[in-house]
Amino acid sequence: MEELLGDNTKFKLVDNDSTITNEDQLIRLLSRLKKDNFITETEYKLHKENCPLRPVMSAIKTVNYGLGKMLTSRLSHLRQSQYVIKDSSDFVTKLTNTKNVDKLMISFDVVSLFTNVPLTFTVDYILDQLYPVCSTNCLQLSKSKQCVDCKRRIGFQTLLEIATSKTHLSFNNKIYVQHDGVAMGAPLAPIIADIFMAYLETTLMDELISLGVCE
């Protein structure tokens, strides 16, 4: 565990527990987004008082757990990919329906997927899918002059950043913040990883098809 947390590219040692600060920031943001009708009353009521910090790998009842659950429902459609196999039955079906037998099947093993997901890149990719930058690029303007979609893009970006980059944990009386990758055990982690893999697979397959390697 010490070796894992010693990876400075993924974790850093901090001086204090930021639970209260993160919780206050989340409450203020949700109140503003509800006022702007960006989230519903039901989605807003995801906060509960006295949220304790749970053991290292559990995100249940942490500050951003409810937020992660809410965002998961909004992102679920982005994880779809024609190259994703649901289960072993789906795999058998695809093999059965394969007409050409003179094909070579290869697989790639992803090492430590969750901690190696490029978080900033994936968040930007998600935002581009949900809220493409408008033609006038008003993201550079003051909030009062931005269009509705750009305001929503910024608001959704903040929610994603809180739900993913505000992950801190304690181990051996030391507090760490995970500043890259996603935390295994967090509700948003699997879908963030799936979205990145769907992007990666599609990009690689397009290139392989163009080179004539795959059909």
Name the stretches of the chain with pLDDT < 50.
47-48, 50-56
Determine, yes or no, domain membership for 24: yes
Determine, yes or no, domain membership for 89: no
Residues 46, 51, 56: CA angle, nearest 5 degrees:
110
Determine, yes or no, domain membership for 91: no
Determine, yes or no, domain membership for 86: no
Residues 5 and 91: their CA atoms lie apart, in Å, by: 36
Residues 64 and 61: their CA atoms lie apart, in Å, by: 8
Determine, yes or no, domain membership for 87: no
pLDDT tens for residues 126-155? 999 998 877 777 878 888 888 888 888 889
CB-CB contact of 164 with 185 (8 Å): no
pLDDT tens for residues 36-58? 888 777 766 654 454 443 334 56
Determine, yes or no, domain membership for 147: yes
Determine, yes or no, domain membership for 95: no
Q: How far apart are the first and last CA of the chain?
A: 43
Determine, yes or no, domain membership for 98: no
Q: Where are the beta strands (DSSP E) in 105-210?
A: 167-171, 174-178
Total domains in the chain come to 1
Residue 186 structural domain: 2-80+104-210
Residue 171: Cβ within 10 Å count: 14
Q: What is the pTM of this model?
A: 0.66
